[in-house]
Amino acid sequence: MAKPVRKSRGKEITPIGEGARLVDQYFDTVGEAYLRHAPEVDAHKLRDWRPKLWSLTRLNPWYGGLVGVHRKRIGVGKDKLVWLEIGLESSPTLLLLHGFAAAKEHWLPLLPFFAGQFRILIPDLPGWGESGFDPDKQYGLEDQTERLRNWLVDIGAHKVNVVGNSMGGALAGLLAARHPQLVTSLVLMDALGLPGKEHTSFIDEILRGKNRLVPRDPVDVIKLTDLVFHNRALAASAAFFSASELIHRRDVNTFLFREMLSRRPDYHKATFENVVAPTLVMWGTEDEVLHVSCAHEFERLIKRSEICLFDGVGHLPMIEAPFLCAQAIKEFIRKSI
């Protein structure tokens, strides 16, 4: 069967593979529908917005003292990137990338199970958490992937085992596809980027311009945590700790969501089907954000891949099942390096 060809201004250009076609299709159907219906963000609100110090960030010194986590930064002001680091530089490097409306602290439950085995890097992605946000910059997946690559080079991390959740999974996959010399192994955890055979009610809402990932009041926060957690007790706890920050970031997060969907990956460049690193596709079977059928598409498309499903777990396995999640990651990395 002939490969699909992308057209521009009536002129044929480079044929694209199935992976690039699926990624492009995903952003066509989901992204463009959302952008048609969702409201624009007030530019003045974005320029006037300033970050605040919240409860999760205040945990860093306390938690770091227990397990040896160090908070580091590079750059200043709107250009700064902040990350947590643990372990020796001589150890294999493990890079953990958070998802949308999340932060580096979401990976903390895994750290006790990794201590002493890896050099672990956990950044707040640019625009998120303690890292800088600049409304005049672009925050598409292409932009974020290159920022990650440049940061890794700057800090001397030339070989990484990368784990990405949700939006962070899309970035991890693109990093592995675009910079194969940099990525030793890849774990895609409930990752954004490919359409499954089925989709969730959340995706139906996105198609109508509604986004539960950007809460605007306490009731919306409860709807968000109920969406991402299958465990109701964890959902209630997360709502309590994160409500103020999520509401404070509502305009910034709306902007970042639009950036993620409007600035789609370049289909001329390598995408998920071009990943050569050994890949573990990890998913919660009760994920109400990205249907578990997406996991099977990643497994089918990436040649050196295997799948690991967690029953009774939602969109954030590292929080709902940290021990099982860590064990699966460690075993996979051991046999991949």
**Total residue count of the chain as it appears in this document:** 337
Domain assignment of residue 10, yes or no:
no
Q: Residue 139: which domain range?
A: 16-336
Q: For position 4, what pLDDT does the model report?
A: 33
Using H for helix, E for strand and C for coil, what is the string for the chain? CCCCEEEECCEEEEECCHHHHHHHHHHHHHHHHHHHHCCCCCHHHHHHCCCCCCHHHHHHHHHHHHHCCEEEEECCHHHCEEEEEECCCCCCEEEEECCCCCCHHHHHHHHHHHCCCCEEEEECCCCCCCCCCCCCCCCCHHHHHHHHHHHHHHCCCCCEEEEEECHHHHHHHHHHHHCCCCEEEEEEECCCCCCCCCCCHHHHHHHCCCCCCCCCCHHHHHHHHHHHCCCHHHHHHHHHHHHHHHHHCHHHHHHHHHHHHHCCCCCCCCCHHHCCCCEEEEEECCCCCCCCHHHHHHHHHCCCEEEEEECCCCCCHHHHCHHHHHHHHHHHHHHHC
Look at residue 30 and tell me whether its pLDDT is greater than 70.
yes
Q: Residue 258 belongs to a domain with what CATH number?
A: 3.40.50.1820
In a domain, 8, yes or no: no
Domain count, the chain: 1
Query: CA–CA separation, 105 vs 178, rounded Å?
Result: 27
Q: pLDDT of 293-327, one tens digit each?
A: 999 999 999 999 999 999 999 999 999 999 999 99
What is the tens place of the pLDDT at every residue in 65-106? 556 788 899 998 889 999 999 998 899 999 999 999 999 999
pLDDT at 62 over 80: no
- At residue 283, does pLDDT exceed 90? yes
Rounded distance between C-alpha atoms, residue 99 and residue 191, angstroms: 9
Q: How far apart are CA 239 and CA 232, in angstroms?
A: 10
In this prediction the pTM is: 0.92
The letter for the amino acid at 23 is V
| Average predicted confidence (pLDDT) for the chain | 89
Measured distance CA(294)–CA(199) in Å, rounded = 8
Per-residue pLDDT averaged across 158-177, rounded? 97
Query: Can you give the pLDDT at residue 69?
Result: 84
User: Is residue 3 assigned to a domain?
Assistant: no
Please state the rounded mean pLDDT for residues 245-265.
93
- 99 neighbors 287 (Cβ within 8 angstroms): no
Question: Is 187 inside a domain boundary?
Answer: yes
Would residue 42 count as lying in a domain? yes
Instruction: Assess whether pLDDT exceeds 90 at residue 19.
Output: no
Q: Is residue 2 one of the residues assigned to a domain?
A: no
Whether 11 is covered by a domain: the verdict is no
Is the residue at 9 inside a domain?
no
Identity of residue 127? G
Residue type, 97: L
